[in-house]
Structure 1
Amino acid sequence: MTDQRWVGVRQRVGAVAAGPAGGKVFGASGHRWVVEDPLTRDELAELEGQLGVRLPEEYRAFLLHVGAGGAGPAYGLFPVRRVQGRWRWEGDGAEMVDLSRLAEPFPDQGPDPKLLRELLAQCPEEDDFGDTEDFDDAMEAWDERWEAVMFAPERTAGAIVISHLGCAQREWLIVSGSHRGTIWSDCRVDDVDLVPLLDEDGRPVTFAHWYTDWLRKAEHTALSVS
């Protein structure tokens, strides 16, 4: 049975692409309004079999009834493809996903706040160094310690990168654990920790809300004639 939320979505995306201002929608230059073909049920079963995990229901339905990726929020929804017999997501940052850990629960908590405060307190100040090279070396060493904590592989176990916003900012879909099915923002490149996207009422944004809200806004932008 087709999930009614996805009925007509491909056609709506096509209408936006053909709209008078489709090129004004943020990210359109990246996805170019292309929606890849949906997966077959056999392909989805093979994908989940390789991953060892069942994907969130809203996303599964999208893959079956809309497409394997393409036009979507920001620069598009990362497509999932079979490459040399193995399934994987493709896009800027998709390689950050450890496909062998998707069945592990996404962590409920981030790094120890005390540890983060200590690291921030240790961040070098240029005024403390008389030589620019010494400061650069100290900053590089601090960056390595900071990234080892913020980008530790276990921090994104049970999640996949599904979109990027440019400048190394990305969004993740949580696949396993208590946050399963929700979308998280990743601006760690700007020293902002992983956080869940929230709707107007402060509730976690699920995949269907994330995608259909983008589509409604894209329609408003692309189909409005000034």
Structure 2
Amino acid sequence: MNTEHVDPDDLAAIRAAFDIDDGGESALGWEAVQAFEAEHGIVLPEPYRTFVAEVTDGSHSGPPDYGLVGLAELPDDWGDGRGDRDLSRPFPLTSNWLWDEDPRPSEEIEPILDQMFNHGTIVLGTDGCGMYWHLVVTGAHRGHVWFITGEGATPFGSGFGFTTAEPGFAGWVKHWAANKPWFDAA
């Protein structure tokens, strides 16, 4: 997974998966992407960066179930009580975490939950019922996609043992386009 340079084959596969043929009209353009990055003190990982600049900024078709939200947007079911988002602060997790099974007291868990939902990620979209797909933009897992729900957080990619998919945004989209279940590892 290369988060610094876009692989032309990955970008072609992503473009084909979303089946967007509007000549880039639904894309943000490089100036808008760079302004977003400057405002938030980040650089988006590739190939997502090129995707929103040149292909589209969100789509009703495609992953997740309710579509891909725009770069500066949150899903309709996000809610108001999640706290302030800071994309420049690192995403706190590096491995699967089920906080419902964590024996620590809630006073220790709550700050991590707040960071997990609000730091270092853009929200790609929702599968409904509080199940969100995040792309990590800051931290040790930069470029990885995470599935975060009300019960836990799971990294996406074959190296984590829950799926056969390649890691990152390209792997996530290609897995969806192949019509495979998200968590298909035996």
Taking structure 1 as the reference length, what is the TM-score of the superposition? 0.58
Aligned to 2:116: 155
Which of 62, 65, 69 is residue 72 of structure 1 equivalent to?
Answer: 62
TM-superposed deviation, 1:198: 2.7
Q: Distance in 1 between matches of 2:158 and 2:41?
A: 30
Aligned to 2:140: 178
Cα distance 1:167–1:11, how it changes in 2: closer, same or farther (>3 A)? Answer: same
Distance 1:9 1:197, change over 3 A: closer
| Paired position in structure 2 for 1:84 | none
Equivalent residue for 1:117?
103
Opposite residue 59 of structure 1, the aligned amino acid is Y
Please tell me whether the aligned partners of residues 69 and 79 of structure 1 are also in contact (alpha carbons under 8 angstroms).
yes
Alpha carbons of structure 1 residues 14 and 54: separation in structure 2 relative to 1, 3 Å: closer
Given the alignment of the two structures, is residue 90 of structure 1 paired with residue 74 of structure 2, yes or no? Answer: yes
Residues paired across the two proteins, number: 162
Which residue of 1 is the match for residue 184 of structure 2?
none
1:66 Cα shift?
1.8
In the alignment, which of 4, 8, 11 is matched to residue 6 of structure 1? 11
Q: Secondary structure at the match of 1:162?
A: strand
Structure showing greater radius of gyration is 1
Out of 43, 47, 51, the residue aligned to residue 36 of structure 2 is: 47
CA distance in 2, matches of 1:109, 1:165: 22
Contact 1:77 1:162 in 2 (8 A): yes
Q: State the alpha-carbon separation in 2 of the partners of residues 56 and 44 from structure 1.
A: 12
Give the deviation of 1:7 after TM superposition.
2.7
Instruction: Sort the Cα spacing of 1:89 and 1:40 in 2 relative to 1 into closer, same or farther, 3 A.
Output: same
CA offset at residue 168 of structure 1? 1.2
Percent identical residues: 27
Question: Displacement of 1:72 after TM fit?
Answer: 1.9
Q: How does 1:99-118 map to 2 (within 5 A)?
A: 99=85, 101-108=86-93, 116-117=102-103
Q: CA deviation at 1:57?
A: 1.6
Q: Specify the code of the residue in structure 2 equivalent to 1:37.
A: S
**Which structure is richer in relative contact order (CA contacts within 8 A, separation 6 or more)?**
1
SS of equivalent residue, structure 1 residue 210: helix
Q: 1:199 to 1:118 in 2, by over 3 A?
A: closer
Distance 1:36 1:116, change over 3 A: farther
Letter in 2 for 1:79: G
Contact 2:26 2:55 in 1 (8 A): yes
- Paired letter, 2:87: L
Q: Is the 8 A contact 1:2 1:61 kept in 2?
A: yes
**How many angstroms apart in 2 are the aligned matches of 1:102 and 1:47?**
11
Q: 1:210: Cα distance to partner?
A: 0.5
